[in-house]
Structure 1
Amino acid sequence: MRADAKKNYDRLLAVAREVFNEQGVEASLRDVARRADVGLGTLYRHFPTREALLEVLLRASFDELTAKAKELETADAVDEALVSWLRETIAVAHSHRGVIGSMTAAIEDPDSALHASCLSMRASGERLLNRAQAKGLARNDIDGADLFALVGALAWLNDQPAHTSRIDHLFGVIASSILTNGVPVSV
């Protein structure tokens, strides 16, 4: 990539991150291009769709979650490992305001630029869930898709100003209902 193209690419990513953090992932791409001081055509040359831009922005976070899950797969306390991953995944989804709708749609759409990243993240959580289930520490009537849906629900609630003050409590309720050891999850 030419130096000027690389500069535009990096600037677009930085500005998109700012704009999406301020306005959510449905923010105007025209606004992203304007604030990056490039034309809309330049934005679309680098990122032909909103999802392509989101995929690049989210890939690092999703890769970190997958790596964290891999680390947690060796933890002795499988229930705590699962809860830790859940908490971090919800925090990542919340930090990318409004992304949960895109993630939910992408998991069902193999043509989505986000599909592979979302599948990988869901699979990493499912492995942690399976470990907890194998030890009898998590309900057996849920799977990775259910876990992903619960992450989405909690991340969505966290995006709602009216629920922000209750998110820790709600996280504890959900996590305690996933686990079978009867111990309330501390927040």
Structure 2
Amino acid sequence: MTGQRADARRNYALLLAVAERAVAEQGPDASLEQIGRTAGVGSGTVRRHFPTRHALLEAVFRKQIDHLTVRAQALADAREDNRAALLAWLGDVLTVAAETRGLAEALKRDRSTGPGDAHEHGAVASLAEAGRPLVRRAAPALAAGVTITDLLDLVTGIALATEHDPAGAHRLLALTVTGLSPQ
């Protein structure tokens, strides 16, 4: 039993790593069967870990969101230049959203659900919670009334417009920042 559980954990980690690459390259329509073949496992193993495409995408996106949440906390704890910390984190969010095909679209869909509706995977809520302390600390350097929701909407829009063009995405973010917080 212990060997099977270790195998299951290993298969899950391998499938998730392969799925991350496939989604980054092909988007949310990446073939589950091809992901299984690349990982060297059968379709039954894929379906046991990820019964639906949505479950697979949720796991891929959740890993990215968790990384960004940890990064926000590290930047908030660093007590460096608050504006620079916020901009570094927004840059990280933008990089992940621009390089992971489908993530920006998922963030947009997640944001478009109404209050009280079940979010697709709670990514926007997680990112907003993670980024709120950064925005609060950087508030004196921001235009009046700028919220974390505003900033996530901007980053999502930029990512949608520049998917797979991180350099272009960061150029647009720099232009946006100049308008938000000139220094």
Residue in 2 aligned with 1:19? 22
- The question of whether the paired residues in 2 share the 8 Å contact of 1:126 and 1:147 is answered with no
Residue in 1 aligned with 2:107? 103
Pair 1:99–1:82, CA change in 2 (3 A): same
Residue in 2 aligned with 1:49? 52
- The reply to whether residue 138 of structure 1 matches residue 146 of structure 2 is no
Pair 1:88–1:32, CA change in 2 (3 A): same
Alignment partner of 2:131: what SS? Answer: helix
Could you tell me how far apart the structure 2 residues matched to 1:141 and 1:49 are? 40
Q: Relative contact order (C-alpha < 8 Å, sep 6+): which is higher?
A: 2
Single out whichever of 10-19 and 53-62 deviates more from structure 2.
53-62
Q: Percent identity?
A: 34
- The question of whether the paired residues in 2 share the 8 Å contact of 1:25 and 1:96 is answered with no
Ranges of 4+ aligned residues in structure 1 off by more than 4 Å: none
- The reply to whether residue 167 of structure 1 matches residue 169 of structure 2 is yes
Instruction: State the Cα RMSD in Å.
Output: 2.4
Pair 1:35–1:166, CA change in 2 (3 A): closer
- The question of whether the paired residues in 1 share the 8 Å contact of 2:101 and 2:164 is answered with no
Residue in 2 aligned with 1:127? 133
In structure 1, what residue type is equivalent to 2:157? A
Name structure 1 gaps, 5 residues minimum: none
Could you tell me how far apart the structure 1 residues matched to 2:50 and 2:164 are? 29
Report deviation, 1:7. Answer: 3.5
Please give the per-residue CA displacement for 1:45-78, whole angstroms capped at 9, x wherever unaligned. 2112323223322333322322222232242422
TM-score (norm 2): 0.80
Report deviation, 1:106. Answer: 2.9
Please give the per-residue CA displacement for 1:9-49, whole angstroms capped at 9, x wherever unaligned. 23322221221122122212232223333333322221123
TM-score (norm 1): 0.78
Q: Which has the higher helix share?
A: 2
Pair 1:122–1:26, CA change in 2 (3 A): farther
Pair 1:111–1:89, CA change in 2 (3 A): closer
Please give the per-residue CA displacement for 1:135-176, whole angstroms capped at 9, x wherever unaligned. 2x1122332221111111122233166xx6543331111112
Could you tell me how far apart the structure 2 residues matched to 1:77 and 1:10 are? 37
Aligned residues: 175
The residue correspondences of 1:69-88 to structure 2 (distance < 5 A) are 69-74=72-77, 75-88=79-92
In structure 1, what residue type is equivalent to 2:93? T
